[in-house]
Copies of this chain bind each other. A is one copy, B any other.
Amino acid sequence: MNATFNNLLSLLDNTESGLYGKDFLLTWEKTHNEIETILAVAEALKNLRDRNISARCFDSGLAISQFRDNSTRTRFSFASAANLLGLAVQDLDEGKSQIAHGETVRETSAMISFLSDVIGIRDDMFLGAGNAYMREVGAALDEACADGVLPQRPGIVNLQCDIDHPTQSMADLLHLKTLFGSLENLKGKKIAMTWAYSPSYGKPLSVPQGIIGLMTRLGMKVDLAYPEGYGLIPEVVELAGIQTKGSGGAFRVVNSMEEAFKDADIVYPKSWAPYHVMQRRTELLRSNDHGGLKDLEKEGLANNAKFKNWECTEEKMKLTKDGKALYMHCLPADISGVSCDEGEVAATVFERYRIPLYKQAGFKPYIIAAMILTNRFENPAKELRNLEHRGKERVI
């Protein structure tokens, strides 16, 4: 009998999970109950692991990963989550496959899924393409199931697309829930999701979009700040505004880091490329126009350089609530004087928040595991209770 575990399970018993058999592609496609369910399952899995109780709910099975962009944190988080539940990771490396051979997404999706339980996909390079690709895979899997080609429909977990980065924003939320005590306590808190200077360009929009798309639902006061011309996908910005209705939250767009930081409880300064630059970049990538990409990079970096003062400094931190706002980042950050000359954040600020930042990252494996578990098991509470009851040691 573990009080924390039991409390989490009571919470799960009282909610209806509509997550079973559904892909996790965008947080705003999930109900508030479902968001809470993911958090509670993640915490329960962490609780089991901390007590050396095995969370293997699969004796065998495959977790497919497809990374169309580099990844450390998410790759290891996915591998850890799969392993925690008993699944073996098999990477779909398009360079080593026959996909270049004109094979359709519909076909590949079925071919890799005969004995698979989950597919994790990162596809964040092409604006308008990443999330669409995941849905194309999903539709192919639905069809293959309906056709009797697949005995079961593997779930899809969005490991970052052009629109959202739900495993990141959900891990961020669990971090906030842990630090502030409850989701309830987040109501009325101000979070500043702001652009920051970086000596690189072409960073995805999915993190800021994921944050404004999730936090506005929780009654938080969300300020999105960026220099003129660094806008996000308009539909997501619009959605953020709409979501404040009913949640008691607020959302506004400002063009000053200082203004966003003012009285903020939480700041999330992070670089991204302007929406319209990502659109042009997508076209150039598609047409394999290396010259054009180089020119765009030069132009993008020159434009970034105009906004070097968009750095999260000690001075700006003083503007926040009692000068003590929580600093967040999805990592790796561009730390001035550490990983670059001038970057997103001053070294002293980063260092002061390094430990909470790393803890923030540590929630991701459990969030992904919760996304997998709730996709595969209709009654997550029952499954978790079984795991505790079985009481198999992880380290024997």
**Chain B contacts of A150 at CB under 8 A?**
362
Give the complex CA separation of A223 and B151 in angstroms.
34
Known interface pairs A79-B62, A149-B359, A396-B58; A331-B107 also in contact (CB < 8 Å): yes
The answer to whether B394 and A58 have CB atoms under 8 Å apart is yes
The answer to whether B61 and A144 have CB atoms under 8 Å apart is no
Interface size on A, residues (CB 8 A): 73
**Chain B contacts of A75 at CB under 8 A?**
96-97
The answer to whether A355 and B148 have CB atoms under 8 Å apart is yes
Interface string of A64-98 (1 = CB under 8 A from B): 10010011110111011001101011101000111
The answer to whether B98 and A90 have CB atoms under 8 Å apart is no
Chain B proximity of A175: nearest CB distance (Å): 12
What residue of chain B has the Cβ atom nearest to residue A149's Cβ? B358
The answer to whether A332 and B107 have CB atoms under 8 Å apart is yes
The answer to whether A96 and B112 have CB atoms under 8 Å apart is no
Q: Is A239 an interface residue (CB 8 A)?
A: no
**Chain B contacts of A108 at CB under 8 A?**
72
The answer to whether A60 and B88 have CB atoms under 8 Å apart is no
Q: Is A101 an interface residue (CB 8 A)?
A: yes
The answer to whether A358 and B55 have CB atoms under 8 Å apart is no
Q: Is A54 an interface residue (CB 8 A)?
A: yes
Known: A55-B60, A72-B112. 4 other contacts (CB 8 A): A89-B90, A114-B362, A114-B365, A149-B358
